[in-house]
Amino acid sequence: MIISMRSDSSDADILRVEEKLAAMDMQTHVSRGVKRTVIGVIGEDNGTTDHSILETLDGVEQVIPVTKPYKIVSRESHTENSVVNVSGVEIGGKTIQVIAGPCSVETQLQMDTAAEQVFAAGCRLMRGGAFKPRTNPYSFQGHGVKGLDMLRQGASRLRLPVVTELMDVRMLDTFLERGVDLIQIGTRNMQNFDLLKELGSIQTPVILKRGMSARITEWLMAAEYIAAGGNHNIIFCERGIRTYEDAYRNMLDVTAIAMLKKETHLPVIVDPSHAGGKAWMVPALSRAAVAAGADGLLIEMHPSPADAWCDADQALTPEQLAALMVELNGIAESLGRSV
Ligand code: PEP
Ligand code: MN
């Protein structure tokens, strides 16, 4: 880090800062300018030093960290793209993976039908929510464990790995027993640190959705919680952020895709369904995501959107999903990838 001293700081102030850093096992290099003194700190901490302590010292103007607070997930620590293997399906490689399926698991027939349609469209992974984080406590909350079984049963016939949301750490063992292939952490839990720590102790891949108002650094730090525990199978999912605009559900932050691909070696996928919140927007947002470098998409599709119990207006029909897959392949090919 670099410590910039105020122009009116005294030699005694500078000495006190040096002593404080020495006590913290850090070496210093003092550069005295005509107007201002700058202290370079060598033996940079591992992100655990509370910089605000240094800012309380007399004469200190600003403490500027020069290393990133996130380590394992950063591209600095691993320059090559990481590929996450989800029960044999690779995310983060040349193939852009489209995960599709209903917002919520409703009936066995719905799941069986949806699995066939997801498979027929060419998708290699299936989604379905058994535990639903609903804004309204009186809305359908999902079938819970019964829903996990319905999802598993529908997807297994087509050998599709399943993606489903974990909200409560007490359900983790059940998820593992049921063989959930990819655990989704939703926007509302991105900074549920106890949940993230538990996910660090397993090896099941995790989709970490962006908190609806989360900054990029906060998102990376949340992933670092999982990685620090030993689970490096993390996939970021941009799902739109809350802004002043209310013409659509959320604003898809395409910029975040480019930013994340620079900052982390881990795969980045996009959920265009919860971003736009309308089925008609999904193709445009999906095209933008693939063009911007996303490694995958998480798309809501329902066998009959008009009958969906949850997020009916943003679900694609099976036909729309199949058509979108063809269209996305064209964009992917122009980038040397495929869908
Ligand atoms: C979902 O994918 O089902 C979901 C609830 O998404 P989000 O957490 O992004 O709102
Ligand atoms: Mn949904």
Q: pLDDT per residue over 154-208, tens digit each? A: 999 999 999 999 999 999 999 999 999 999 999 999 999 999 999 999 999 999 9
- pLDDT tens for residues 1-18? 999 999 999 999 999 999
Q: How far is the CA of 72 from the centre of ligand 1 (A)?
A: 26
DSSP 8-state assignment for residue 162: E
Kindly report the CATH number that applies to the domain delimited by 84-334: 3.20.20.70
Atom of ligand 1 nearest to the CA of 184: 2
Q: Where are the domains of the chain?
A: 2-64, 84-334
Q: How confident is the model at residue 50 (pLDDT cuts 50, 70, 90)?
A: confident
Q: Is the pLDDT of residue 279 over 70?
A: yes
163, 195, 238, 271: which to mutate for ligand 1, most atoms within 8 A of CB? 271
Q: Is the pLDDT of residue 334 over 90?
A: yes
Kindly list the strands in the beta sheet with 60-64, ordered across the sheet, starting from the edge strand earlier in the chain.
27-32, 37-42, 2-5, 60-64
Residues with CB under 6 A from ligand 1: 103, 129, 133, 165, 186-187, 209, 239, 271, 274
- Domain 2-64 maps to which CATH number in 3.30.70.1140, 3.40.50.300, 3.50.30.60, 1.20.120.530? 3.30.70.1140
Q: Is the pLDDT of residue 72 over 80?
A: yes
pTM more than 0.85: yes
**Proximal ligand: closest to the CA of 189:** 1
User: Who surrounds ion ligand 2 at CB < 5 A?
Assistant: 103, 311
Give the alpha-carbon dihedral of 159, 163, 168, 170, to 10 degrees: 20
Query: How far is 72 from 276, CA to CA, in rounded Å?
Result: 32
Q: Is the pLDDT of residue 41 over 70?
A: yes
Q: How far is the CA of 81 from the centre of ligand 1 (A)?
A: 26
